Amino acid sequence: MVSTLPVSLEDIRAAARRIAGRVTTTPMVQSASLGELAGVPVHLKLEHHQTTGSFKLRGATNAVLSLSPAQRLRGVVAASTGNHGRALAYAAKAEGAVATICMSRLVPENKVSEIRRLGADVRIVGVSQDEAQQEVDRLVREEGLVMVPPFDHPDVVAGQGTLGLEIIDDLPEAASVLVPLSGGGLAAGVAAAVKAISPTTKVIGLTMEKGAAMKASLDAGQPVQVEEVASLADSLGGGIGLDNRVTFAMCRELLDDVILLTETEIAAGMRHVYACERQVVEGAGAVGIAALLAGKIRGSGPIVAILSGANVDMGQHLRVINGTQPLYGEEGP
C-alpha cells in the first residue's frame, strides 16, 4: 500500500541521510501533566526547538540539497505563510543560494522581518496564499527561479517525514501520533514513515475549525478551496492547491482521522504548554495539546504530540497567556 504513494520509506531514509548534520534532531519528552489528564503516557516531540523554529527546515533543506548545481545557481522561490519562507531562506543561504520569498499581507510582521534577516528577498503580494503563489509562478516563468513549494513536493514531504522516523525510532510502541495539519506535507511525511515501520500506529491530523482546506478536501473527495480566516494557528492557514499532486492522496490514504479545534481550545493548548511544560509554542504547534485537553483524543497510549513550531508574535503570546487575546469569531476566553 505505502509503496504506491509518491513518497516511500526509502525516500525518507535517503532524506534523513542527506540532511543529517544540517538540521537538529529534536528531543522527545514525556509530559506528566498531559499523561495524568489522558490516562495514558503522552510524549511531546519538541520540534519547535528546530533551527528556524519549525520542522519546515527539514523539507526545505532536503529540497535545496536535491537541486542540480545549475538550479542552485538560479536560486529558489516560494510562497509562504512564514515558517516555510524562514526555513527556505536559511537552507538556501547555508548552501550559498539566493531565496526569494513571496507572502500575503496576512502574515505577522515578526515572521516577515525574520525572513529578511535570514538574507532572503521578500515580496509581499495580495491577501491570500493563492495570490502570493501567482507571483511565484511569474518569477519561475519570467526569471527562471526554481520553486520549492511549502508542502506539495516529494522532496519536501520526504524531508518532513524524517520527523516521523525520529519519533518511531524513539518510541516504536507509539499508539498514536498527533500531527498539526495544513497543506499536509508534515502529516503525509510523518504518516509515511511511521506507518511503514509501525502499521498499527494511528496518525491523526489536527487543524482549526474554520478555514481547514485539507479537511474540507478529504470530506469532498478532491481538493477544494476554502475561505481563509484569521486564526491563532496562522501557520495552518492557506489552501492545498486545486492541482494538488502529492499530499492530498497521501493524507487520504494514510491519516486515520482529522480532528478540528476551536480558537478557544487552541489558546488553552498554548497556555497549558507554557504553564506546565515551560514551552513557548505557536498556535499551530499547540493543536495536539489542545486536542488532548479538550478530550478529543481517545484510545490507548502512548500518544505522541508533535509541537511543530515556536514562531508566535511575542505580544500575541503574552495576550494568550494572560487571557486577553481576542479570539477570532469567538467570545473571549
What is the per-residue binding string for ligand PLP in 213-242, x denoting contact by CB under 6 A?
A: ----------------------xx------
d(CA 39, CA 49): 27
3-class secondary-structure state, position 325: coil
- Residue nearest ligand PLP, Cβ-based: 309
Q: What is the maximum span of the chain, computed from C-alpha positions, in angstroms?
A: 57
187 binds ligand PLP (CB under 6 A): yes
Which of the ranges 13-21, 112-120, 174-182, 194-202 carries the binding residues for ligand PLP, by CB under 6 A?
174-182
Which residues 6+ apart lie within 8 Å of 228 measured at CB? Answer: 106, 128, 129, 211, 237, 238, 239
Q: Which of 85, 151, 248, 266 binds ligand PLP (CB under 6 A)?
A: 151
Nearest-angstrom CA–CA distance, 107 and 320: 18
The CB-of-278 to ligand PLP minimum distance in angstroms stands at: 19
**Contact window for ligand PLP (CB under 6 A) among 4-12, 96-104, 175-183, 192-200:** 175-183
- CB nearer to ligand PLP: pick between 83 and 176: 83
Do 163 and 58 form a contact (C-beta atoms < 8 A)? Answer: yes
Which amino acid is it at 251? C
Contact (CB, 8 A) for 115 and 86:
yes
Catalytic residue among 8, 45, 56, 104: 56
Tell me which residue has cell 497567556.
321
296-315 residues in contact with ligand PLP (CB under 6 A) are: 308-309
End-to-end CA distance of the chain: 44
The answer to whether residue 210 is catalytic is no
Q: Which residues in 91-150 contact ligand PLP (CB under 6 A)?
A: 150
Minimum Å gap between C-beta 183 and ligand PLP is 3
DSSP-derived letter for residue 54 is B
257 forms beta bridges with: 204
Q: Which stretch binds ligand PLP (CB under 6 A): 8-16, 93-101, 179-187, 221-229?
A: 179-187
Question: Min. distance of Cβ 65 from ligand PLP in angstroms?
Answer: 19
* Minimum distance of ligand PLP from residue 86's CB (angstroms): 9
Q: Give the C-alpha separation, 149 to 87, whole Å.
A: 12
DSSP code of residue 124: E
Q: Please state the closest distance from residue 101 (CB atom) to ligand PLP, in A.
A: 14
Query: Is 56 labeled as catalytic in the residue annotation?
Result: yes
In the set 31, 66, 235, 308, the catalytic residue is: 308
CA angle 54, 111, 293 (to 5 degrees): 50
Number of residues this chain uses to bind ligand PLP (CB under 6 A): 20
The Cβ-side half-sphere exposure at 246, using a 13 Å CA radius, reads: 21
Considering the complex, state which of residue 16 and residue 307 has its C-beta at the smaller distance from ligand PLP: 307
**Active site amino acids:** 56, 308
Binding region for ligand PLP (CB under 6 A):
54, 56, 83, 150-151, 180-187, 235-236, 282, 284-285, 308-309
